[in-house]
Every structure is written in structure tokens, then in C-alpha cells.
Amino acid sequence: MNFIEFKSKMQDLVCFNLNQIHAFQPDFDRNNLFRWKKKGYLVALRNGYYTFADFLGKPDYAYFFANKMYQPSYVSLHSALAFYGIIPEAVVQITSISSLKTAFFTNPFGEFSYKSLKSELLFGYDLKPMDKRRNLLFATPEKAILDLLYLYPFYSNEQEMNELRFDYAFMQDDLNVERLNEFTERFKSKALRKRVDLLLKVYET
């Protein structure tokens, strides 16, 4: 199999792994991957996961790869908060939530960090269209806030809450407090409930 044939088979997947390659060609020689990577045709995303170099520099693909190369997962925490404009900082690392163990990957598309939650806490995310055929999995603003407060328990006093620097206009006008409270109950954590109540008090929501 030459690279053109390979690309015609795999390009629609964008992100693919060895199992997917062997599904359409069981006798595929994996040495091809090393050769094509060396020639600059392929990019290694993590061990066993690849994409085509054509996607380098294209908007949103880093988020797409964050979803695909470590499943199940969805973009959350600081990355989602920055995406919604809730925090002022530009975030370089893409942070996600997964039911798998904590992980970290670097590749030419960026740095990817995964924090672990129990599988029953993987909820509260939306499908955001990236193009006509693909979607991105992003935490809702409310779930991104809860994931942050749950995983970073040092946000437990007014000073720490203020240092989050959440956008005041968002907290006043756009935060769905009903959804936030509903999601909080699903965590079944009294400590999280206290932090959420403090957050709402600090931001006068």
C-alpha cells in the first residue's frame, strides 16, 4: 500500500489508531507509519494515534484531537472556561475530563492534560459543531465550573474565589444557576456544595 491509497482510506477519520488501520487492512505493515512520519506526511498524536500533517495550523483541530486520542473525554476546566470567556487568561494547554487515569500528552498540536473523574460524573457536556461532519465535546459553562471546584478544592474561601477572576457580567447574566445547582447535586458532595454556595455569594449571583 502506498501513502496515497492509505490517505484516501483514513483521511475522513482525521485521527486514527492502529486498530482502525488494521480493521481495513489486517496485514498493514506498521513500519509504513514510521516512514511516513519521517517524511512529514503523518503526525504522531500519542502512542498508536496519528493524523495527517495537512491538519497542522487548522483551527479547532487540537480540540478535536483532545476528544479523540483519549476516550471517553470532553474539554473542560480552564480550557472550557477560557473558550466561553469566563476567565481572562489565554490557555495554552488543553485540559479535559476523562474516566480514564490522569494523563498528559504533547505533540505538534499542543499540550493535552486529562484529569480523572468517576464515570458517573462524566455528564454536562455539549456537542459543538466544528464542521459539517464533526463535533467537539465541550463541558457546558456550569459543568466546567463544577469540574474545577471539585478537582481543585483549595478554592474554599472568598479570596481564592475572587482570584478565579470569573467574568462578572457572565456570572450575573449568563450563568444558568438552576443547571449549576442541578449538576452540583449529581456530584453528591457536601464540600462541593459549600464551594458552589460560596462562589454564588462572592459573585453575587
Tell me the C-alpha distance between 166 and 137, whole Å. 22
pLDDT of residue 205: 86
pLDDT of residue 59: 86
Residue 9 has pLDDT above 90, yes or no: yes
Tell me the C-alpha distance between 66 and 74, whole Å. 8
Q: Do both 125 and 27 map to the same domain?
A: no
80-122 per-position pLDDT tens digit: 999 999 999 888 899 999 999 999 999 999 999 999 999 999 9
- Cβ burial 163-177 (10 Å sphere, 16+ → b, else e): ebebbeebbeeebee
Q: Do both 88 and 130 map to the same domain?
A: yes
Task: Using alpha carbons, select from 24, 35, 121, 108 the residue that is nearest to residue 65.
Answer: 108
Q: Do both 41 and 93 map to the same domain?
A: no
pLDDT of residue 132: 87
pLDDT of residue 73: 98
Query: Whole domain around residue 13: which residue ranges?
Result: 3-55
Are 51 and 11 a contacting pair, CB within 8 Å? no
Q: Do both 119 and 150 map to the same domain?
A: yes
Q: Do both 27 and 80 map to the same domain?
A: no
Name the domain count of the chain: 2
Q: Do both 121 and 49 map to the same domain?
A: no
Q: How confident is the model at residue 72 (pLDDT cuts 50, 70, 90)?
A: very high
10-69 per-position pLDDT tens digit: 999 999 999 999 998 999 999 999 999 999 999 999 999 999 999 999 989 999 999 999
pLDDT of residue 91: 86
Mean pLDDT, range 111-135, rounded to an integer: 96
